[in-house]
Structure formats: structure tokens, C-alpha cells
Amino acid sequence: MSQPGWTLVYSRQAQKDARRLASSGLKAKAQQLLDVLAQDPFATPPRFEKLVGDLAGCYSRRINIQHRLVYEVLPDEKLVHVLRMWTHYE
């Protein structure tokens, strides 16, 4: 029997980013990443990076060369908090 997945919650910024992804044709790729996170936020592939600086404790995965999905993992609650789903270079 497979273990239950993780709960995804989205920041207000991530909700805005989701609309931008949909209009830029990247929704399917982002959805694949979200599906991976819901199963296991530490699963690979695709590989993820542990972030430093302001986002220390968070992780990111590439949606494409420009855009990233940035999230934090709250293991005690089996929760993945999705912070951003658009470029972080703006």
C-alpha cells in the first residue's frame, strides 16, 4: 500500500504565478513538478537545489531555463508550501 502523499499549499504569489504560467504555456510542466512534490518533495528526478540566503531552508526545481518552482517542506505536517512558480530574477 502506498503511503498518503503530501499536502500542497500555495502562497498568494504562487497563485498569481500559476496564472502567468498558464498564459505562457508552461502550466503542464509546472503541474508535473507539483505532482512530484505531492508524492515526495525530495524525489528525484528532476533534481532540486537547496537554497541559501533569504530563502535558506527552501528548495527549487526548474520549470524551464528561466523559471523555477520554489518551495519549503514542513515534514511534521507533511506539507509543501509553494512560494513561487515564476522567475526569481525579477
E strand spans, the chain: 7-10, 49-50, 58-62, 68-74, 79-84
Calculated CA dihedral for residues 38, 60, 57, 20, nearest 10 degrees: -80
Taking only the tens place, the pLDDT of each residue in 22-32 is 999 999 999 99
Residue 4 — very low, low, confident or very high, per pLDDT cuts 50/70/90? confident
Taking only the tens place, the pLDDT of each residue in 54-65 is 999 999 999 999
pTM of the model as a whole = 0.91
Strand partners of residue 7: 79
pLDDT of 90 = 47
Distance CA 70, CA 58 (A): 7
The C-alpha cell that represents 39 in the structure block? 508524492
Residue 87 — very low, low, confident or very high, per pLDDT cuts 50/70/90? confident
Longest C-alpha distance within the chain, in Å?
43
